[in-house]
A = this chain, B = another copy of it.
Amino acid sequence: MSTLDLTLDEIYTLANATMVANGCDEDNANALADIVTRAERDGSHSHGLFRVPGYVKALRSGKVNGKAKPTVIRKTPSVIQVDGGGCFAPLAQAVGLLALAEAANESGAAALSLVNIHHFAALWPETEYLADRGLVGIACTAYMPSVAPAGSKEKLFGTNPISFAWPRPGKSPICYDMATAAMAMGDVQIAARDGKTVPPGTGLDADGNETTDPAKIAKGVLLPFGGYKGSAIALMVELLAAGLTGERFSYEAAEHDNKDGGPPRGGEMVIALSPAVIAGEGWAEHAEEFVDRLAGLEGVRLPGARRHANRLDTGPRAINATLVETIRGLC
**Interface residues, chain A, CB within 8 Å of chain B?**
75-79, 81, 106-111, 113, 136, 138, 148-154, 156, 164, 166, 174, 176, 178, 180, 225-227, 229-230, 232-233, 235-236, 238-240, 242-246, 249, 251, 271, 273-275, 277-280, 282-283, 286-287, 289-290, 293-294, 297-301, 303
For residue A179, give the distance in angstroms from its CB to the closest CB of chain B: 8
Q: Which residues from B are CB-within-8-Å of A289?
A: 249
- Inter-chain pairs besides A174-B239, A178-B232, 8 sampled, C-beta below 8 Å: A76-B277, A78-B108, A79-B108, A138-B236, A164-B232, A176-B235, A229-B230, A244-B279
Are the CB atoms of A287 and B239 closer together than 8 Å? yes
> Would A279 and B113 be within 8 Å (CB), given that A76-B106, A107-B78, A239-B136 are in contact?
yes
Query: When chains A and B are docked, how far (Å) is the Cα of A81 from the Cα of B224?
Result: 35
Q: Which residues from B are CB-within-8-Å of A79?
A: 107-109, 274, 277-278
Contact partners of A148 in chain B: CB under 8 A: 297
User: Interface on chain A toward B: helix, strand, loop, or mixed SS?
Assistant: mixed
A73 CB, nearest partner CB in chain B, Å: 10
17 A-B residue pairs with Cβ-Cβ distance under 8 Å, sorted by A, are A75-B277, A76-B106, A76-B109, A76-B277, A78-B108, A109-B111, A113-B278, A113-B279, A136-B244, A151-B300, A156-B294, A164-B232, A180-B229, A225-B227, A225-B229, A235-B294, A242-B287
Residue contact A243 to B108, C-beta cutoff 8 Å: no
CB distance from A200 to the nearest CB of B (A): 9
Report yes or no: B151 in contact with A283, Cβ–Cβ below 8 A. no
